[in-house]
Amino acid sequence: MNDVQTIGILGGGQLGRMLSVAASRLGLRCHIFEPGAAPAGDVAWRLTTAPYEDVDALRAFAESVDVITYEFENVPTSALDLLESIRPIRPNRRALAVSQDRLAEKTFLNDIGLATAPFADVPSESDLDAAIAAIGRPSILKTRRMGYDGKGQVRIGDGPAEWTGAPSVLEGFVDFSAEISVIIARGADGQVAAFDPGLNVHRDGILRTTTVPCGLPSKTTTDAVLIAARIANALDYIGVMGVELFFTPQGLIVNEIAPRVHNSGHWTQAGCAVDQFEQHIRAVAGLPLGDGKRYAAVAMENLIGDDLDRVPDLLRTPNVQVHLYGKGTPRPGRKMGHVNRITG
């Protein structure tokens, strides 16, 4: 049926865990490479625990699989160079390079004709005042690399501006009434399939809920899908991508892209016959994509920190699907699981 039988996954967190489960339903095996704790290792065929600087471990990992993918973006370039010399990496290195660096990402999006927040490069603290003069206040300073879930970000208001401590990008504030995200897949043959856009709500920089349908006009949701497809095609992408967009009086602008399965796509587990995890496995393995059609209205909620205490009640609640990540002790801001509520 297919030459790919074993998929290597860089990263052993909850996304790798759910990818491994999806692969197993298709009769495929997953080998996880993770330097630290690896919830994905509990359900995968094989787990390698080693640093990304361990050349021998990387080589053995690559030689044991047919294709390599990843559940997070920040894999060292040296490790990727070695792995790619042995096995194909999907999505490709360009998608990684663009998404790893906020400046590269916004420049790429503008270059393909898509709108973003106004931004300025801030390579050092000495460049901050000039950037603020160009972009204005209020604005938000974000590290170019490694920031997620609100980390590596400083709000620039009327008072003295703080520095992030690393090369950064200053973004102007955007007047938006809603944030939505599109989960889109693109196969090796160029076939594209998108899921319905979901409405996102954040708190303290962390995604709390995603709801579908998103409640925006059909023209807006169609435009959002077309924007996501333009990005995927421009990157010659293979796999699932998350694209976050702001709905503004001037139309849609792109906030950021994630070259992997995405938190805001977890609702697909309860709302679609083929969810985002299976769709990604299909794409990187060279299998036909599912159509992504939604058959239910769903509200996804992240379980963060002590939200885990609610699990017994959630398990008793009708039309609720509980997903726990097998992590250790809950702590503030740590994603421990999520629930999908079928609402219609």
What's the confidence (pLDDT) of residue 266? 98
- Copy the structure tokens of residue 1: 């049926």
State the DSSP code for 158: S
305 belongs to an annotated ligand binding site: no
**pLDDT tens digits, one per residue of 254-313:** 999 999 999 999 999 999 999 999 999 999 999 999 989 999 999 999 999 999 999 999
What is the count of structural domains for the chain? 3
338 belongs to an annotated ligand binding site: no
The pLDDT-based confidence of 161 (bands split at 50, 70, 90) is confident
Whether 150 has a pLDDT exceeding 60, the answer reads no
Is 11 among the domain residues?
yes
Q: How far is CA 3 from CA 208, 250, 287, in A?
A: 39, 47, 10
172 belongs to an annotated ligand binding site: yes
| Highest mean pLDDT: which range of 67-81, 116-130, 163-177, 232-246 | 232-246
- Same structural domain for residues 145 and 223? no
- Same structural domain for residues 201 and 328? yes
CA dihedral 260, 263, 267, 272 (to 10 degrees): 0
Whether 73 has a pLDDT exceeding 90, the answer reads no
Is 158 among the domain residues?
yes
Tell me the β-bridge partners of 294: 272
187 belongs to an annotated ligand binding site: no
- Same structural domain for residues 20 and 149? no
Determine the average pLDDT of the residues in 57-74.
96
What's the confidence (pLDDT) of residue 305? 96
70 belongs to an annotated ligand binding site: no
219 belongs to an annotated ligand binding site: no
- Same structural domain for residues 44 and 84? yes
74 belongs to an annotated ligand binding site: no
The pLDDT-based confidence of 1 (bands split at 50, 70, 90) is low
Q: Give the predicted TM-score (pTM) of the model.
A: 0.95
- Same structural domain for residues 297 and 240? yes
- Of 172, 204, 236, which one is at a domain's C-terminal end? 172
43 belongs to an annotated ligand binding site: no
171 belongs to an annotated ligand binding site: yes
- Same structural domain for residues 195 and 244? yes
151 belongs to an annotated ligand binding site: yes
**pLDDT tens digits, one per residue of 81-91:** 999 999 999 99
Is 318 among the domain residues?
yes
- Same structural domain for residues 40 and 140? no
12 belongs to an annotated ligand binding site: no
| CATH code (residue 234) | 3.30.470.20
- Same structural domain for residues 192 and 304? yes
53 belongs to an annotated ligand binding site: no
152 belongs to an annotated ligand binding site: yes
- Same structural domain for residues 151 and 240? no
